[in-house]
Amino acid sequence: MISTVIGLGNIGDKYSGTRHNLGFEVINAISYKWRVRPKPGKGNYYFAHHKYAGRIITLVWPTAYMNNSGMAAEQVMEVLSLTPEEILVVYDDLNLPLGKIRIRQGGSSGGHNGIGSVIEHTGTENIPRIRLGIGPLPENADQVNFVLGKFSEDEQKFADKMIGQAADAVLYSLKHGLEDAMTKYNNPAPEE
C-alpha cells in the first residue's frame, strides 16, 4: 500500500513553474490542501507527514535536481523502511500529450532522467507512478530547453487542470489503491 509520494522537479526559483517541475506542483497542491509545510529530511529531500486514509502519508520533494532524484527515493526508503511498491512517483512526461495523466504500476524510464534515477537507485522498475503529459515536443525544439521552459498562457490552463486532476488521483490512490485509480483516471482526457 502506498504511503509515500515523491514529486520530481528541480529545486530553486529559477525552475519554478517550468514543465519539468510538475511533480513538485502536484505535491505542493496536496501539501497546501493538507496545510503541511515541508521540512528538511535526513538526506537530499524535504518532506511533510500527514494522516490521511487512516495512516501517515509522507510527501517528498527531492533537492538534488531532477537527474539525481533517485538519491532522495533511496534515502526516504531507508529512513522509513519502505519497499519500492510503497512509493508513488509523480513527474512530467514528454511522451504524453499536454493535459493527460497516466497511472502505472511500473515500467521503464521512457527516457526520463528523473524516474531513470529512481529506478537505478531502487534497483527496480516496479515503481508506482503518475505521469503528467507535457508533449509533444514541438518540431525543431531543443528537448532540454523545452522541458525547462514555462507553459504559454493557453497551455497553463491545461497544466493547471492536469495538476489538480493529478493531485486528486494521488489522493484517490492513497484511499482506494492504485488499481482503482488506474481504472478511474487512465481514460483519455476529454477534448476542450
Q: Which distant-in-sequence residues (6+ apart) come within 8 Å of 109 by Cβ?
A: 115, 116, 119
- Here the cell at position 86 is 510503497
- Here the cell at position 31 is 501539501
* 191 has pLDDT over 90: no
Query: Which domains are assigned to the chain?
Result: 4-185 (3.40.50.1470)
* 189 has pLDDT over 80: no
- Rounding to the nearest 10 degrees, give the CA dihedral for residues 11, 17, 22, 24: 40
Q: Which amino acid is at 41?
A: G
Q: Which distant-in-sequence residues (6+ apart) come within 8 Å of 57 by Cβ?
A: 3, 4, 5, 49, 50, 51, 174
pLDDT at position 81 is 97
pLDDT at position 129 is 98
**Each residue's pLDDT tens digit, 124-155:** 999 999 999 999 999 999 999 999 999 999 99
* 96 has pLDDT over 80: yes
Percentage of the chain modeled with pLDDT above 70: 97
* 192 has pLDDT over 50: no
Contact 192, 161 (CB under 8 A): no
Query: Active-site residue among 20, 49, 112, 176?
Result: 20
pLDDT at position 190 is 52
Dihedral sign for Cα 68, 127, 83, 91, please.
Answer: positive
Average pLDDT of every residue of the chain: 95
Identify whether 20 is a catalytic site residue.
yes
Cα separation, 145 vs 85, in Å, equals: 32
